[in-house]
Amino acid sequence: MLDPDLEAFLELVAAGGGQPMHLAGPARARASYDAATLAIDAPGAELARVRELRVPVRDGAEVGARLYESRPDTGQPVLLFFHGGGYCVGGLDSHDSLCRDLADQAGCAVLALDYRLAPEHRFPTAFHDAVDAWQWLRGHAAALGLDPARLAVGGDSAGGTLATALCLHAREAGAPAPCLQLLLYPCTSAHADFPSRARYAEGFLLEAATLDWMYGNYLGAQGDARDWRFSPLSHPDLAGLPPAHVALAEHDLLVDEGRAYAQRLADAGVPVRLEVYEGMTHDFARLGNIVTRTATLRRDLAQALRAAFADRPVAA
């Protein structure tokens, strides 16, 4: 059963008659997505410091980033966070409240990345930006006053995909791994044959037509939907990845593939904590003005981060 407050919100959205993302086009979809944030989400916590940064990535480009610091002292652990939005919408402002609360409640720093969006930048650009940002953070954490030994990665929706694909890349490259992958309702499969894809195809915030539009914009004509950098469930071996905290929404067309990915991780010997939030839909991590479970989720995520950072020795 849908949360009553969320159900009322969805009825208002449907009655509003707004243009769906897949019909609005990227520019209008981005503007609408960002503007809605002011209505649906509460302001995040006040922090000791918030810094705007530029992170170099391949192709001679730079992308924006925002560093949230919960304390003024040095040596804080760090979460590298990738926002959701189907690789097409979203950015630093749309997820500002979430990042602020995670930094505050987990007692850590959060580095949010404004990776390049599709269709202007197609697959695998977002993945490459994530990898380049991870390598940059590892090399610059100490200079930023952060602890390079306690680094986690995470994200919601497509951002969760980037986070777990980054963990796979680090393992393949033999590079140091994050201490935790924090995955909020990640996109993990190229296939639409999961029952939840049909069960929640319309009327539950993220709709199938919008998801198809997002994937089409990102992959274009050349991208391979079976590539594990887009579809982590396609990778034949998930062993040796960092511990995972997977948070899913009950009424989300991605919930079944999220469960499947968590099970694949567990079967491969990866420590996994799976939480499915009853009554919730996709994107509820940003619905602080709509449902109380948003605050619950943020507390749960912060606790997972605290535990992961506590298990990792502080850099000498």
The CATH number of the domain holding residue 32 is 3.40.50.1820
Of 94, 157, 196, 231, catalytic = 157
Structure tokens belonging to residue 40: 């649906």
Q: What is the DSSP letter of 247?
A: E
Note if the pTM is more than 0.75: yes
Pairing state between β 181-184 and 146-156: parallel
Q: Provide the residue-wise pLDDT of the chain in tens; the chain has 316 residues.
A: 999 999 999 998 888 767 788 888 899 999 999 999 999 999 999 999 999 999 999 999 999 999 999 988 889 999 999 999 999 999 999 999 999 999 999 999 999 999 999 999 999 999 999 999 999 999 999 999 999 999 999 999 999 999 999 999 999 999 999 999 999 999 999 888 999 999 999 999 999 999 999 999 999 988 899 999 999 999 999 999 999 999 999 999 999 999 999 999 999 999 999 999 999 999 999 999 999 999 999 999 999 999 999 987 777 6
Q: What is the DSSP letter of 314?
A: P
* Residue 282: active-site member: yes
Of 22, 235, 251, 282, catalytic = 282
For the chain, the 3-state helix, strand and coil shares in percent, each to the nearest 5, are 40, 20, 40
One-letter identity of residue 236:
P
Report yes or no on 316 lying in a domain.
Answer: no
Residue 155: give the domain boundaries. Answer: 4-310
Structure tokens belonging to residue 245: 């905290």
The pLDDT assigned to 316 comes to 60
Domain count, the chain: 1
The pLDDT assigned to 239 comes to 98
Q: What is the DSSP letter of 287?
A: -
Long-range residue pairs from 44-52, CB within 8 A, at least 24 positions apart, any chain:
44/96, 44/97, 44/98, 44/99, 44/100, 44/101, 44/104, 45/100, 45/101, 45/103, 45/104, 45/105, 46/100, 47/100, 47/103, 47/104, 48/72, 50/100
Measured CA to CA, the distance from residue 68 to residue 44 in angstroms comes to 11
The pLDDT assigned to 287 comes to 98
Integer CA distances (angstroms), 27 to 22, 90, 211, in order:
11, 11, 16
The pLDDT assigned to 309 comes to 97
Structure tokens belonging to residue 285: 């991590």
Of 3, 132, 252, 283, catalytic = 252
Report yes or no on 130 lying in a domain.
Answer: yes
| Beta-ladder partners of 146 | 76
CB 305 within 8 A of CB 278: no
Measured CA to CA, the distance from residue 95 to residue 85 in angstroms comes to 10
Report yes or no on 184 lying in a domain.
Answer: yes
Report yes or no on 315 lying in a domain.
Answer: no
The pLDDT assigned to 15 comes to 85
* Residue 128: active-site member: no
Integer CA distances (angstroms), 313 to 68, 75, 148, 179, 275, in order:
22, 12, 10, 11, 27
Structure tokens belonging to residue 111: 């580095």
